[in-house]
Every structure is written in structure tokens, then in C-alpha cells.
Amino acid sequence: MNDAPTGFEATDPDFAARVRKSFAAQGIMGHIGATLTLIEPGACEIELPYSDAVSQQHGFFHGGVIGTIADSAGGYAAFGLMDAEDEILTVEYKLNLMAPADGDLLVARGRVVRPGRTLTVARAEVVVVKDGREIACAAMQQTLMRIVGGAGISR
């Protein structure tokens, strides 16, 4: 996919199906009602509609769910660039909450900054949609670790 907006190419031709399968296996994503809406080599987008279950005491989206979908968006952007038999784990991330997430929908857009053999750096921007307008509410940068041949790892 040389024409991908990220400029990255997937080594696994079935990367999108692998990302979807992994996403579906994350209990937290189903629990909070998040949806995978875009998968490209080096890019991923996740949406989360507002509900009381993902709010904090003032009625905004909770910072924890903002971090959760940002982490997954960046992680799946990176995971899509890895080989079919590899797995991935987040090593660290830094989240800046820039504005109250007051709206009807959260959208986390993850992008790979630099893929590496072992460590990959990704970023995610999170916007909240209110009255049809997007407002940036969070920015995240993370480091992810490739687990070579780790398909099927579990606790």
C-alpha cells in the first residue's frame, strides 16, 4: 500500500483482519462500547460514543477512557506494521488532557511516528465531537514493544 497516507507498508497482507481480531479480543473495548473505524498501515482510528458508563462526575468523558482508546489506537497503528506471528505490548505512554471531553463522541486517531525492530513510537490525537464540530481534547505519545513470534501469548 504505497499510497497509504502514513507512507508505511504492511508486511502482513492480512494485517487488517489481524488487527480486527485482536481488537475484538479486548474485553475493555467491548465493555466501554468502542468501535474500530479505520485500519491502515501505520494508522488506526477508534470511536467511542458517549454514555453515562464512560463519564466522570461532571458529565464529561472520563480521562481513563480517553487514555484507553488513545493507547489502543496508537497500539493498533503499530501492530498493523508487524509480522503476522508477532504480538505487541505498550511499554509506556504520556497523555495530555487538553480540554474537557464534552460531547457525543470521542475519536482517537493513532499514527506511527517511527517503527522499529523492537520498539515503535506512536502518537494519538483524541477529539471530542459536539454539535458536529471536532475539538482536540487529548494528545498521547507511546512506546510499544514488538514480541517477535509471540502470537498466542497470554497470562
Domain range for 127 is 15-147
Q: How far apart are CA 77 and CA 44, in angstroms?
A: 5
pTM: predicted TM-score of the whole model, two decimal places: 0.93
Q: Which positions ≥6 away from 50 have C-beta within 8 Å? A: 61, 103, 104, 105, 106
Note whether residue 22 is domain-resident: yes
Report the number of distinct structural domains present in the chain.
1
**Which H helix or E strand runs over 28?**
helix 27-32
Q: What is the mean pLDDT of residues 4-32?
A: 92
Tell me, what CATH number does 65's domain have?
3.10.129.10
Whether 153 is in a domain gets the answer no
pLDDT band for 155, please (50, 70, 90 cuts): low
pLDDT digits (tens, 9 = 90+) for 102-142: 999 999 999 999 999 999 999 999 999 999 999 999 999 99
